[in-house]
Amino acid sequence: MITISVCMIVKNEEKHLARCLDSLQGLWDELIIVDTGSTDSTKEIAARYTDRIYDHPWRDDFAHARNYAFSLAGCDHIYAPDADEVLDAENRRKFARLKQALLPEVEIVQMIYVNRHAHKTTENFEKDYRPKLFKRLRTFQWIDPVHETIRLQPIIYDSDIEILHMPSESHAGRDLRIFRSVIRKGHPLSARLHNMYARELFMAGAAKDLLEAEDFFKESLRDGARSQDEHMEALCVLARAARVKKDHAELLSLCLNGIAAGPCAELCMEAGDYYREIGDWENARDWYENARSTPAILDIRCQEEFPKERLALCDAANANDRSGAVHV
């Protein structure tokens, strides 16, 4: 049987921490809590479960904090939950069985991350595999009988354990602040982070967030080293910002340029919302229908849920117009 270090980074998680730790009871061999500046009762709650509580200065860098937490672990494997994650009884039993039977050569165990938009997430999936359990010390092995080489790729096991992601509020404000801090420091955003920044802005950004991001995405749009996908992400954010500013000429230009390059549901929705806001229900309906038949790149709801809702509004408006018509 393997041993497990549960390593968590937390800050102001008094609403969630006990729920998370209660759901993990009996699974850990050591519990390590790294607090990055809580001002509520988080550390007092953590102390009911472990005396391994450490303070660590917050640097707007989750990776730095997680690396510190991992450095404190001493067991065979490390499990890295967030405080708003929960294992229900069935999946706790699955985890216990995994702990008993995990093969020594497995270096990463993926678990099924279960999201629901009702829990204020900014993810585009309901279920998705994520690496959650990590072998603490990796052993290198030679492979191949001739032209032998070191195996570099980790051995990954896709388990059937489901982790429920149940935040009580959106983390978008915190994440967007960190993105702005990274950009101000002059650090480039990878393609992955470019997508995540655009997605969080598009799905959960306030008007202020969108306007503060304009310069970055305008530069991204001009950057020839960025991919077509990244240019489309930038167009979506900039179109939303133009609609917020009621710069209709810029909005339509961005939508049409993007749709000509490679249509996406988000830009169709932006064009449809513009026409709906000016009362042009027929054009709005056309764009919403286009959104339903066009792939989404940032927010999957723009392909199904949102156009369906907006089309119902268009039908209701058209019905009202017909019922109010005067016949002579």
Q: What is the pLDDT along the chain (328 residues), one digit of tens a residue?
A: 999 999 999 999 999 999 999 999 999 999 999 999 999 999 999 999 999 999 999 988 889 999 999 999 999 999 999 999 999 999 999 999 999 999 989 999 999 999 865 544 556 667 889 999 999 998 777 777 666 687 888 999 999 999 999 887 766 788 899 999 999 999 899 999 999 999 999 888 899 999 999 999 999 999 999 999 999 999 999 999 999 999 999 999 999 889 888 889 999 999 999 999 999 999 999 999 999 999 999 998 999 899 999 999 998 887 776 665 543 3
Chain segment 208-262, per-residue pLDDT in tens: 999 999 999 999 999 999 999 999 999 999 999 999 999 999 999 999 889 888 8
pTM: 0.73
Q: How far, in Å, CA of 124 to CA of 122, rounded?
A: 7
Q: How far, in Å, CA of 265 to CA of 290, rounded?
A: 7
Q: Would you call 214 helix, strand, or coil by DSSP?
A: helix
Q: Domains along the chain? A: 4-165 (3.90.550), 172-323 (1.25.40.10)
- b (16+ CB within 10 A) / e for 246-259: eeeeebbebbeebb
35 and 46 in contact (C-beta within 8 Å)?
yes
**What is the number of alpha carbons within 13 Å of residue 50 lying toward its C-beta?**
25
Q: How far, in Å, CA of 42 to CA of 209, rounded?
A: 29
pLDDT at 128: 87
Sign of CA dihedral 114, 117, 120, 125: positive
Amino acid at 163: I
**What is the number of alpha carbons within 13 Å of residue 165 lying toward its C-beta?**
23
Q: How far, in Å, CA of 205 to CA of 192, rounded?
A: 18
223 and 245 in contact (C-beta within 8 Å)?
no
- Tell me the β-bridge partners of 131: 110
